[in-house]
Amino acid sequence: FMIHPPPHSTKIAAGNHAPGKKINKIKTLVTTHLPADSRNIKGHYQNYLGPSWKRLVEENRRNTGRETVLPDFFIACVDDGCDQIDKELCTPLPMAKNEAGTIDKQMLRNFLVNDRHDTNRMLCYYAHVPERKNQDYIFIHSLNFLEMEPLTSILDVGYYDYILRTDADALLFPGLLNLAPSGSGWIGAGEYGEEGLTDHLVRHFSET
C-alpha cells in the first residue's frame, strides 16, 4: 500500500545512465511476521520467503540501471521465530530510546538513509515484536504488527513510498525491482497456482 502522505523519493544513482545522472527509485518496504515455531510453520521462512529475498538481493547486485524500485525487508518476529532469520543477511533494527522514552527517529533515519553508503544496497532488518494478549484470532498478530512499534516509527521517518506485507510462505520475484501498484495499493487473493507449482517455483527462483 502507498504510504500517506507519500515521502519524497531520494535520488539514487543508476548504473547504465549518463555519468552523474540521477533517477528517483521507488522505496518499497517488504515486511512479514514470523510467529513462534510452536505454530507448526517452522520452515516456511527458510524454504520460501528467506531464499527468495536472498535471490532478489543477488538480482539487484546485477544492477542494469533500469530498475525502478529499491526494496528493503523488515521482519517482525516473536520469540524463537526470530531464530529462523539468516543473520548473515539481516541485522537487528537499532531501537534506542530518546529522553521521551520513544524510539529515536534520527537514529532510524541514520540507519535507513544516512548510513547507506551504497545507495543501491537493499537492507534486511528485524525486531522482536511481542504479541498482544487475549486476541480472538490466533494469527491476528500477522496484521497487528503493522500498527505497532517499531514499524510505526520506521514509517514515520518518511523514507518509504510503499509497504508490501506478505506471508512467510510466499515468494519474492525479481519483478519486484520494477513493481509499483497503480492507485493506492493491491490486495492478493492467494491460491494462485495448481498443486506442484509452488515446489517448482521454489526450486527455480529461490536457488542459493
pLDDT at 143 over 80: yes
Cβ neighbourhood burial of 150 (10 Å; 0-12, 13-18, 19+)? buried
What confidence score (pLDDT) does residue 127 get? 96
What confidence score (pLDDT) does residue 177 get? 93
From 135, 130, 192, select the one nearest 167 (Cα to Cα): 192
Contact 125, 73 (CB under 8 A): yes
Mean predicted confidence (pLDDT) in 9-27:
53
Tell me the C-alpha distance between 16 and 45, whole Å: 34
What confidence score (pLDDT) does residue 41 get? 58
Q: pLDDT tens across 24-77, in order?
A: 889 999 999 998 765 555 577 888 899 999 999 998 888 777 889 999 999 999
What confidence score (pLDDT) does residue 56 get? 93
Instruction: Say which residue, 123 or 183, is predicted with more confidence.
Output: 123
Contact 34, 81 (CB under 8 A): yes
Instruction: Say which residue, 13 or 79, is predicted with more confidence.
Output: 79
Whether this model's pTM surpasses 0.85: no
Mean predicted confidence (pLDDT) in 155-182:
89
Q: pLDDT tens across 72-128, in order?
A: 999 999 888 888 898 888 999 999 888 888 999 999 999 999 888 788 899 999 999
What confidence score (pLDDT) does residue 130 get? 87
Instruction: Say which residue, 172 or 65, is predicted with more confidence.
Output: 172
What confidence score (pLDDT) does residue 17 get? 41
